[in-house]
Each structure stands twice: as C-alpha cells, then as structure tokens.
Amino acid sequence: MRQISPAGSVRGSVLLPGDKSISHRFGMLASICEGPSKIRNYSSGADPQSTLDCMKALGVPITRSGSEVTIEGQGLDGLRAPAAPLDAGNSGSTIRMLAGLLAGQPFSTEIFGDESLSRRPMQRVMAPLGLMGARIDARDGKYPPVRIQGVAAGERLRAIDYEPPMASAQVKTCVLFAGLFAEGETRVHEPVRTRDHSEIALRELGAELTVRNRVISMQGRPKLTGRDLFVPGDLSSAAFFLVAALVARESKLLLTGVGLNPTRAGLIDFLMGLGARIKVLNVAEENGELVGELQVEHSDLKPGVLEGAMTAAVIDEIPVLAVMGALGGGLSVKDAGELRVKETDRIATVAENLRRMGGEIDVHETGFVVPGGQKLKGAEVDSFTDHRIAMAFAVAGLSASGETTIANAEAASVSFPEFYDTLRQITA
Ligand code: S3P
C-alpha cells in the first residue's frame, strides 16, 4: 500500500533508470558476443534483472555493481544448458526475446514466469520459431511455461522471411535473435514500425543488418564483438513525470539523459501536438541511440486521438496518457487491442481505477474514450500487480482531491524501483 497526497505543482529535475527495452537487448546480446562488455546505466528494474539472471543460468559470467554490468561474452556457440528451468519473472520481453536465442541452441530449456506472465500469449513467438525449425511447446499450446527443444546435433535453424500479424518489437526481436543462429538471411516485414533497439544494438555489435521500408534483413552466424555500452534513460518512465508536470499548474521539470530514439519519441510529438510545452535539449548519440534532455511545463492541452502507428509507438505510455486525458483535454484511443495482453488487461485496469476515482471512461474492445476536464477524487486504487498501472495512478493521485492509496504499489519496481522516491523529491 502506498499513500499519495495531492501535490499542487511538481518542480525540479529527474534522473531516470536506464531504458528497460535496451537493457534487455544489451544483456542478451553481450552474452553471445566474443569478449567482455561493460554496460553503464543498466536498468534498475526487476525485469531487466530477470534477463541477467537467465543469462547467468545459461553459463554467462555476469557481475553487477549498481547500474554497471559486466558481461563476459561466450560467443555465438558458448551458452550452456541451464541446471533448472529459467525464471523470467514478470517479464514478457525476457521470455519472448530469449525464446529466440534458445531456439538456436543444441540443448533443451524451459522458461516460466509469475502469475501475470503465465497468462500472456506465446503463440506469437512459437509460430515463427516453428517455421525456423525449432521444436517448441507451451502450456495449453500457448502460455508459459514454454519448452524449447534445441536444434539436433549438426543441424541449424532455417532463415525465414516473416511478417508478424501484430505490431510487436518483441516478436521482431525474437525472430532476429533466432536468425543469428540460422544459415543465410532472416527477414522481418513489420506491419507497423516498432521500436528498433534490436536493429541498432545488433549493428553496433557487428551484425550485418539492413532496414528498408519496414523490412529488416539480417545475415545469420555473424561475429558479434563485446564492447562498452551505455543505456539511455527510459522514455516510458519519463512519461509519468511529463504527464505529472503537464497537468499540474505552475509545474516545471527537467528530465536528463532521456532516450529519444525516434521509434519511441512519438510520445513527444503526440504531446506537442496537443499543445504540451516540452523543449528537447542537448541531443547527442550514444551507441546509435539518441539521448537528450526534456524540459516540460504545465500546459493547457487539447483533446487527443491515438490511432494506428501512433498507438503502437506509445503503447506502454497509454495508461498515464489516459490519466492525462481525464485531467486535461480528453483522449480517444483506437487500435489498442494489444493493451488487453500486457502485464494486465490495461484497458480494464485503467477503466477500473479511473472509475474508483470518480472518473468517466467509455471502454470498447480495442480502446477507450476519456472525456477531458474531469476532477478526480482520491480513492483506493490497485496496480493489479502491473507496474505501469501503479505509476499512472500515483500521478493521478497527485492531481486528485484527497488521499489516494495504491494497493500492490510495489509493482512499480518491475521497471522503476526509485519511482516513489523520485515523486517525493519533485513534490517536496
Ligand atoms: C517491448 C515491446 C513492447 C512493449 C514492451 C517492451 C520491447 O511489447 O510493450 O514493454 O522491449 O520490445 P510488444 O512487442 O508486445 O508490443
């Protein structure tokens, strides 16, 4: 349980944890590089730690001191059969991306997760891995635990040309990671462009990969070489503070070291389009990823519509954008069926909590409509063990009348253990 008091304005500067998506990719890829990698600003979240724990269980020497992680890469053929099933915790990225790496191994593995992960669909990765020749099985054919029987001695995965039926960077990454172990060229045709951290990381580490019109082509069996890597701050974590500042009068925040990869920064464009006063400052490049500062001030926001490619680009930020819609100019979300299969059914959990706070929301199968200009009342809300729901409703609590309590608030540590401390600093 966490109590959130109304705050008036938020002011000051915020340092974010390393990006969760990039941390997973660096953790997995550095493990199959030749030689060591030192990763700075690795995410402090529990999910990226699940990835490191899985890689350790696969025989990779990994040491961690705070946000600095050193990985002794074992080369493309250096992973070892784990002594026990691998635990992905709450992390969909870990189980789906790692399934790609494991499909190419000459040994069998099983990956399981917590209660939430055990309800999330895995066919989306089982289908392409099956086409590549991997023998892969799951509970009821679709849920974790997932069992992956590696390739037979002397055999290799087949390179495929694959068009995922949904917009998913995890599925794209799974296919590319399996493609590392296949002979020849693996191709993924994306229906909608999704975050391209895997493409950037693979290229940085030495893979031969090209991208043209949403088609990614990569040669199998590359020589990947370990190196020093830096993880930018997590823009999806920044979103909670951007919204907190936008909706509360007299607020002004500076967010430093934020990842601004164009396939993620649709959020900034969307907010600016609604009239958000956000300045992007001091942009630089690190390991192929853009990093910069964001200065944000309270703004009068227009009504917003999220649909198509923009929905996909901001999919993780939608819970807090719903809160922003209610307190600001309103928000209509379309084409967001993927929200139903995240850590919780986020359409349902957003609606439940907004209603508990006296808010209004109209829900449909693949989205919702939140009228603007609402006054929210402090209430008991629940994260339902979903990190982004916990943090979105902590932000709602700052601008509500009266106290808000969040049940299962500790879920925030899945991506952002320092979240409540940071919130306290900017409201002090
Ligand atoms: C992620 C991709 C998205 C996102 C998740 C992280 C990634 O999932 O929701 O938090 O790092 O590739 P999907 O691939 O299921 O859309």
CATH level 3 topology of 20-230: UDP-n-acetylglucosamine1-carboxyvinyl-transferase; Chain (3.65.10)
Full 3-state SS string of 366-420: CEEEEECCCCCECCEEECCCCHHHHHHHHHHHHCCECCEEEECHHHHHHCCCCHH
Taking the C-alpha atoms of residue 125 and residue 129, their distance in angstroms, rounded to an integer, is 6
User: What's the 40 CA to ligand 1 centre distance in angstroms?
Assistant: 22
- Give me the DSSP letters along 53-109: HHHHHTT--EEEETTEEEEEEE-TT-----SS-EE-TT-HHHHHHHHHHHHTSSS-E
- For the annotated catalytic residues, the residue numbers are 316
Q: Specify the pLDDT at position 152.
A: 87
Q: What is the pLDDT of residues 194-224, one digit of tens each?
A: 999 999 999 999 999 999 999 999 999 999 9
Taking the C-alpha atoms of residue 320 and residue 254, their distance in angstroms, rounded to an integer, is 19
Query: Of 85, 61, 84, which Cα lies nearest the Cα of 71?
Result: 61
Residue whose Cα lies nearest atom 13 of ligand 1: it is 168
Q: Specify the pLDDT at position 428.
A: 84
> What residues form DSSP beta bridges with 71?
37, 62
Atom number in ligand 1 closest to CA 172: 14
Q: What is the pLDDT of residues 321-351, one digit of tens each?
A: 999 999 999 999 999 999 999 999 999 999 9
Cα dihedral value 177, 191, 123, 111, nearest 10: 30
Residues having CB within 6 Å of any atom of ligand 1 = 21, 93, 168-170, 173, 195, 315-316, 338
Q: Specify the pLDDT at position 253.
A: 98
Taking the C-alpha atoms of residue 300 and residue 181, their distance in angstroms, rounded to an integer, is 51
User: What's the 159 CA to ligand 1 centre distance in angstroms?
Assistant: 23
User: What's the 93 CA to ligand 1 centre distance in angstroms?
Assistant: 6
CA-CA distances (angstroms) from residue 197 to 99, 169, 200, 262?
Answer: 18, 9, 5, 10
Residue 220: both structure tokens together: 């199998």
pLDDT string in tens for the chain (428-residue length): 999 999 989 999 999 999 999 999 999 999 999 999 999 999 999 999 999 999 999 999 999 999 999 999 999 999 999 999 999 999 999 999 999 999 999 999 999 999 999 999 999 999 999 999 999 999 999 999 999 998 888 899 999 999 999 999 999 999 999 999 999 999 999 999 999 999 999 999 999 999 999 999 999 999 999 999 999 999 999 999 999 999 999 999 999 999 999 999 999 999 999 999 999 999 999 999 999 999 999 999 999 999 999 999 999 999 999 999 999 999 999 999 999 999 999 999 999 999 999 999 999 999 999 999 999 999 999 999 999 999 999 999 999 999 999 999 999 999 999 999 999 999 98
Token pair 């389009």 in the structure block, residue: 273
Full 3-state SS string of 185-242: EEEEECCCCCCCHHHHHHHHCCCCEEEECCEEEEECCCCCECCEEECCECHHHHHHHH
CATH level 3 topology of 2-17+233-427: UDP-n-acetylglucosamine1-carboxyvinyl-transferase; Chain (3.65.10)
Q: Specify the pLDDT at position 150.
A: 85
Q: What is the pLDDT of residues 387-416, one digit of tens each?
A: 999 999 999 999 999 999 999 999 999 999
**68 and 42 Cβ atoms separated by less than 8 Å:** yes
Quickly count: other Cβ atoms within 10 Å of residue 340's Cβ.
Answer: 14
Among 170, 202, 264, the mutation site with the greatest number of ligand 1 atoms within 8 A of its Cβ is 170
User: What's the 11 CA to ligand 1 centre distance in angstroms?
Assistant: 30
**CB neighbour list of residue 33: distance below 8 Å, 6 or more residues apart:** 71, 73, 75, 205, 206, 224, 225, 226, 227
Query: Of 261, 258, 263, which Cα lies nearest the Cα of 278?
Result: 258
Taking the C-alpha atoms of residue 199 and residue 37, their distance in angstroms, rounded to an integer, is 18
Q: Hey, is 124 helix, strand or coil?
A: helix
Among 24, 51, 93, 340, the mutation site with the greatest number of ligand 1 atoms within 8 A of its Cβ is 93
Whether 2-17+233-427 shares its CATH topology with 20-230 is answered yes
Atom number in ligand 1 closest to CA 171: 14
Q: Specify the pLDDT at position 364.
A: 98
Query: What are the residue boundaries of the structural domains of the chain, listed by start?
Result: 2-17+233-427, 20-230
Q: Specify the pLDDT at position 300.
A: 98
Residue whose Cα lies nearest atom 16 of ligand 1: it is 168
Among 315, 335, 338, 388, the mutation site with the greatest number of ligand 1 atoms within 8 A of its Cβ is 315
**128 and 172 Cβ atoms separated by less than 8 Å:** no
Helix axis angle for 197-204 and 169-179, nearest 10°, is 30
Q: Specify the pLDDT at position 254.
A: 98
Q: Specify the pLDDT at position 335.
A: 98
User: What's the 98 CA to ligand 1 centre distance in angstroms?
Assistant: 13
